Structure 1
Amino acid sequence: MASSESKKIEQPLLTQKYYGLRLGTTRVIYKEDAPSTSFWIMNEKEYPILVQTQVYNDDKSSKAPFIVTPPILKVESNARTRLKVIPTSNLFNKNEESLYWLCVKGVPPLNDNESNNKNNITTNLNVNVVTNSCIKLIYRPKTIDLTTMEIA
């Protein structure tokens, strides 16, 4: 009835990894005469994060005429890096600002610490939270790019 090898059942092991990516700005302004613009991101966690970036039109579903380089990158723990926003076409309205959305997705690593001890049965419950943060990307044509002194 009783086995000579009894197995010990432990409580589930809960590991949590969540988004810890900070954007260095609340909006990015691309000026018409500039070849590109940039912004920085920082990984505030003690583990690396995979970062994916995309730019969408105002409807947040269709692709915008911009790319972010690099589009996918690994950001090490407590590291800061700069991303560049580059236009892909010249199909902009020359007389008014245009609004786009720059979205940055942070993906934490999976937990690889699994116990294979034959005397212990361990249940692992891994929770990975992936968050997509979107900030405004504003295209500003030369015709309305005036300084405060020029307006006064």
Structure 2
Amino acid sequence: MRKLPHIFFCLMFSLSSISHAAGIQIGRTRIIYNADKKEIALPLVNKDNTLPWLVQSWTDTGDGKTRGPFIITPPLFRLDPQKEQSLRIAWNGTVLPDDRESIFYMNIRTIPATAKEDSDKNVMRLIYKTRLKLFWRPDGLKGTQGETCKNLHFKRQNNELQVINEGAYYSTFDSLYVGNAKVERADMVAPASAISVDLPKNIAGNRVSWRCITDYGNASDQYTSTLVQE
């Protein structure tokens, strides 16, 4: 009977809003690129004690297909166990709005090497993909990211909650409540824009409380406001 070749089964795990993927630890959960910087660094550490990992990185505009206006160096490399290396992220000069933040996404795919003792076995090989928000921040924007979060406005239209951002920065929610009910689908509102999300059923009260995710990846102070009925 003919012997079948050894097969490696590959699974892709897409991980977002985390700071590490298996053996590779990523230095932050979001990236802020200030426009006055020539480039910025994103540190990676291989926490694996024995195996090297292959690291591949790129940016996209949010659709998962169109590449973002950044050059990543190195785009593909091997990171040995217990070693650290930084990705260098450089803007390629594409014209971007100068009166508000723009958002892109950083993708980091990591693949572990196969241990020698498993080289002649059928094994499951895990491929991890981490996706981080990358905010392009022009010089001279009015206010701060924290002030934009604090000054969000909320209106109720039937069974929908409208969130209005009049600032120049993105606001990403850590939590959002109307009364004691959590608004689950509220994620992020872009500068100078608004979003509408469904409210929980049988919601009571007109007090809104929220926290945003700061530049450092933690939760902001809690802010409160009165919900405007329309």
After TM superposition, the score normalised by the length of structure 1 is 0.73
Cα pair 2:70 2:92 within 8 Å, conserved: yes
Q: Structure 2: where are the runs of 5+ without partners? A: 1-20, 146-230
Structure 2 counterpart of 1:35, one-letter code? K
Higher-Rg structure is 1
Corresponding position: 1:89 with 2:86 = no
Which string of whole-angstrom CA distances, capped at 9 and with x for unpartnered residues, describes residues 19-60 of structure 1? 411100011111111111111011111210010000111222
Q: Distance in 2 between matches of 1:114 and 1:100?
A: 38
Contact 2:61 2:104 in 1 (8 A): yes
- 1:114–1:93: structure 2 CA closer, same or farther, 3 Å change rule? closer
What RMSD over aligned residues (CA atoms) do the two structures have, in Å?
A: 2.4
1:37 corresponds in structure 2 to 40
Which residue of 2 is the match for residue 136 of structure 1? 133
Opposite residue 32 of structure 2, the aligned amino acid is I
Give yes or no for the alignment of 1:72 onto 2:76.
yes
The match for 2:23 is: 20
In structure 1, the partner of 2:173 is: none
- Taking a change above 3 Å as real, the CA distance of residues 73 and 114 of structure 1, as seen in their structure-2 partners, is closer
The CA distance in 2 between the partners of 1:34 and 1:146, in whole Å, is: 20
Q: Quote the Cα distance in structure 2 between the aligned partners of 1:58 and 1:97.
A: 14
Percent identity over the alignment? 23
Q: Kindly state the Cα deviation for residue 68 of structure 1 after the two structures are TM-superposed.
A: 1.1
How far residue 79 of structure 1 moved from its aligned partner, in angstroms, is: 1.1
> Which fold has the larger relative contact order, with Cα–Cα distance below 8 Å and residues 6 or more apart in sequence?
1
Unaligned runs of 5+ in 1: 1-17, 116-122
SS of the residue 2:122 aligns to: strand
Corresponding letter in the other structure for 1:32: A
CA contact 1:32–1:140 (8 Å) conserved in 2: yes
Whether the aligned pair in 2 keeps the contact of 1:19 and 1:130 (CA below 8 Å) is: no
Instruction: Report SS of the residue matched to 2:140.
Output: helix
Query: Contact 2:51–2:115 (CA<8 Å) still a contact in 1?
Result: no
In 2, are the aligned partners of 1:103 and 1:133 still within 8 Å (CA)? yes
1:74-99: per-residue Cα shift (whole Å, max 9, x none)?
A: 10001111111001123111111011
Deviations 1:121-145 (A, max 9, x none): xx82211100110111110000217
Deviation at 1:114, TM superposition (A): 6.6
Contact 2:51–2:114 (Cα < 8 Å) also in 1: no
Per-residue deviation at 1:113? 3.9
* Counterpart amino acid of residue 62 in structure 1: T
